[in-house]
Amino acid sequence: MTAHAVLAFDFGLKRIGIASGDTLTRAPAPRPAAHSGDSGPDWEAITREVRALAPQVLIVGAPYNADGSEGTMSAAARRFATELELRFALPVHLVDERFSSLEANEALKAQRASGQRRRRVQRADIDSAAAAVILGRWFAGEKR
């Protein structure tokens, strides 16, 4: 079986968490987050990640509310996913991202408490860890 690189994104208005993995090991790993602001995502940073890892598939977290209805960020995340598809000519899949940031934050806090992680947990760390959670869900077969 050939391993295919996969890149996942946790879209946000201030930062975009990024994680990578491959279809063989299915082990998601956080990457440096990209900035996002009034002028939109830092496409240069995102392009660098895409070029460096040469993924065959891109994953974007789809923000839903706890009850399963679309979240306030859903339309923006879909626009980001569409732009990824247009810029990189790669298939883009949406994965339910509900509670991924909470899950990521708890995991990072546990790593710090156990001594596994030395430096303070910052927002960008949580965003990229959330992208790793989203990628893990995709590897597990979860979709929208």
What is each CA distance from 100 to 31, 39, 61, 91, 125, in whole angstroms?
16, 26, 9, 22, 13
CB 128, CB 8: distance < 8 Å: no
Give pLDDT, residue 142: 63
- Of residues 96, 92, 102, 93, the one with CA closest to residue 129: 102
- Pair 90, 56: CB distance under 8 Å: yes
Domain 5-139 falls in which CATH fold?
Answer: Nucleotidyltransferase; domain 5 (3.30.420)
Strands (E), the chain: 5-10, 15-22, 29-37, 40-41, 57-62, 92-96
pTM (two decimals): 0.86
| DSSP H or E run through 82 | helix 74-88
pLDDT per residue, tens digit, the chain (144 aa), is 678 999 999 998 999 999 999 999 999 999 999 999 888 999 999 999 999 999 999 999 988 878 888 878 889 999 999 999 999 999 999 998 876 777 776 776 776 667 776 777 677 777 888 899 899 999 988 654
